[in-house]
Amino acid sequence: MPSVTASGNPWLDDALEQIATQSVYVDSEVAGHTALQDQLASVVPSDGSIAVVVLPEAAGRNLPYQTYILERLTSAGDHDTVILAVGSDLQADSSAIDGEVALRIANENEASAGSLPDALVETVQEISAETPTSPGGGSGTGGADLLVPGLIGGVVLLAAACAAIGLIIRRRRSRATPAASTDPIPAGIRLRIDRLRELRPAYASVSGNAIAGETAAGIDTLASHVEQLFLRLDARAGEDQSVLAEAEYSDKLARLVAALEPDYLLDLLTRPDLWDAPDERIGEVREALAAVTTQIVDNIKQVNGRKGLLFQVSLDSLIGRSELRDWERQFGESTAQDGNTGDRA
């Protein structure tokens, strides 16, 4: 068992330390960790471009959001690609290929492979196959190379430099702004996810208010789970299930966004004296946030188990408030001002 550290996640701390000097790290709490470490080391590229981290299921508990460990590992190391397994949950991110493609490969292998080691090996191999090869020549050259004119050598060096610069630019663009055409998340859902993440800092910055802090964490969790649901639907389920989920959550997320806007819940938390029944209103929003998050998690489990999606949550309490009754119009107007049109789900 790793020693407890200040971060609150000892498995992550150990992984960050180990991955700084090696490309494969399997925590000692993972069953068969020695054999798995050797198996992964035999397939991971020797150039350090891909790192693989395998942690026990306990490492994924009480995280701020589901991809927290992956993001920490990706930002901390020099590896182009990080493949992570936490228990049976397989994730991946990459700057060498589109990050969404890497995640999709990991999710598909998680669902189809017979075991975690097989899923990890297949993910490494598929991402390696998708990764563009770097320009360069072999180490052994014939004597005829000495007769190549210096001008040709200069041209070759210039071409290699240009290719390297182009690869760096593509990697940075891929990490910062994945192409919209490759986003498996419907545009309307993506818009709501983005707005939730924009709202989070406003709640996190309210000092001395426990409910505001809990709301910030809840918003973060919900946004991450919504993203995971639609990524997994895209990788594992039929189009009808994705369409069904989009229809279900476009309106529910928009209602939540309207309730979480600064002029409603945040104002209720910071200026309750200006509202009638503030505690009741606050409770309604908190209950709605928790209920939608719980349903999203249930839906993810249904997708993982190849079951049909079930929806049981109603946000009638929010609709009943006259201040939020025109939530759809308000959300449409605010997004249109940002240049996002045609978002009606």
Summarize pLDDT for 26-82 with one digit per residue, the tens: 999 999 889 999 899 999 998 888 999 999 988 888 777 778 898 888 887 788 999
233 has a pLDDT exceeding 70: yes
What pLDDT score does 108 carry? 86
Using CB atoms within 10 Å of the CB of residue 145, give its burial: 0 to 12 exposed, 13 to 18 middle, 19+ buried. Answer: exposed
What pLDDT score does 72 carry? 86
User: CATH second-level architecture of 10-130?
Assistant: Roll (3.10)
The answer to which of 25-39, 114-128, 162-176, 182-196 has the lowest mean pLDDT is 162-176
209 has a pLDDT exceeding 60: yes
What pLDDT score does 162 carry? 53
144 has a pLDDT exceeding 50: no
319 has a pLDDT exceeding 50: yes
Using CB atoms within 10 Å of the CB of residue 111, give its burial: 0 to 12 exposed, 13 to 18 middle, 19+ buried. Answer: middle
What pLDDT score does 330 carry? 53
Sign of torsion, CA 202 204 210 214?
positive
60: Cα within 13 Å, side-chain hemisphere: 17
At 292, the pLDDT band (50, 70, 90 cuts) reads very high
Please, what is the average pLDDT of the chain? 79
Cα 162 to chain centroid distance, Å, stands at 32
What pLDDT score does 265 carry? 94
Q: Cα dihedral angle (22, 28, 30, 34), rounded to 10 degrees? A: 70
Q: Mean per-residue pLDDT for 236-241?
A: 77
Neighbours of 4 (CB within 10 A): 10
What pLDDT score does 240 carry? 81
What pLDDT score does 284 carry? 93
The answer to which of 60-64, 253-257, 263-267 has the lowest mean pLDDT is 60-64
Could you tell me which residue, 337 or 214, shows the higher pLDDT? 214
What pLDDT score does 320 carry? 66
Name the pTM for this structure.
0.47
